Amino acid sequence: MNEKIFLASGNPGKLAEFFGLAGPGELPTPRLDLALLPDFSSLPAFDESAPTFAEIAAGKALHYSRLVGALILADDSGLVVPALGGRPGVRSARYGGPDATSAERNERLLREMRNFAGGERRAYFVCALALARRGRAIAIVTARADGEILHAPRGARGFGYDPIFYVRDRDQTFAELPMEQKNQLSHRGKAFRRMAQFISAI
Ligand code: IMP
């Protein structure tokens, strides 16, 4: 599959991970030719108010693939804390208000969970990826990565909730792991590798 795939995202943290995931030697399938969707931020935005990650990813991919006659890969991702009824969930990017910083979102979540112990601190990241061309969906995949929410941030890598997301097997947060190791374990890495198999069969 030599067709260029355009990523419909403006989040620099996610974009760095996608390019790492598509890089040389990363995929068992042939390499994917990924590029940023030109002028992404000046195109009409997609309304992300649907209640599930998969609906938002699929809706975004369909929306941008109608505006641009090309193969579009869109993602929606977020952090789910079952003991908080699934919050922040599909609202992860806007938790605590649209202008809050990642550090402020993390502080808010830590505050809300300050009395949680043991299994109540369990959390998982979800990534839904959708591929569409000219208003038709080609594939949708969803994957998750399990961990726990720490009591204080640790690590300076990654983005978003990474400093408070702890992986017990590694004894590290996502923000302490080098990107290649995070990509091996992460929701985005798992979903992307599955999507790459679909793409190689197109
Ligand atoms: P959206 O997919 O653009 O709605 O944004 C997802 C939001 O979920 C991000 O802005 C982060 O706050 C959070 N998120 C998703 N994936 C990750 C991750 O791998 N690490 C940390 N935070 C993430």
Domain with residue 106: its CATH number is: 3.90.950.10
Count Cβ atoms below 10 Å from residue 40 Cβ, excluding itself: 16
Q: Which domain holds residue 17?
A: 5-200
Rounded-to-integer distance, Cα 192 and Cα 24, Å: 14
Mutational test site, ligand 1, from 161, 162, 180, max ligand atoms within 8 Å of CB:
161
CB 108 within 8 A of CB 96: yes
Res 142 pLDDT > 80: yes
For 163, counting Cβ atoms within 10 Å of its Cβ (0-12 exposed, 13-18 middle, 19+ buried), the class is: buried
- In this prediction the pTM is 0.95
Q: Which positions ≥6 away from 105 have C-beta within 8 Å? A: 88, 92, 95, 96, 160, 161
Q: What is the pLDDT of residue 60?
A: 97
**What pLDDT, in 10s, does the model give residues 13-39?**
888 999 999 988 788 777 788 999 988
Res 2 pLDDT > 80: no
**What pLDDT, in 10s, does the model give residues 97-125?**
989 999 999 999 999 999 999 999 999 99
Mutational test site, ligand 1, from 127, 142, 144, 159, max ligand atoms within 8 Å of CB:
159
Domain count, the chain: 1
Q: Is the CB of 184 within 6 Å of ligand 1?
A: no
Categorize the per-residue pLDDT at 165 as very low, low, confident or very high, splitting at 50, 70 and 90. Answer: very high
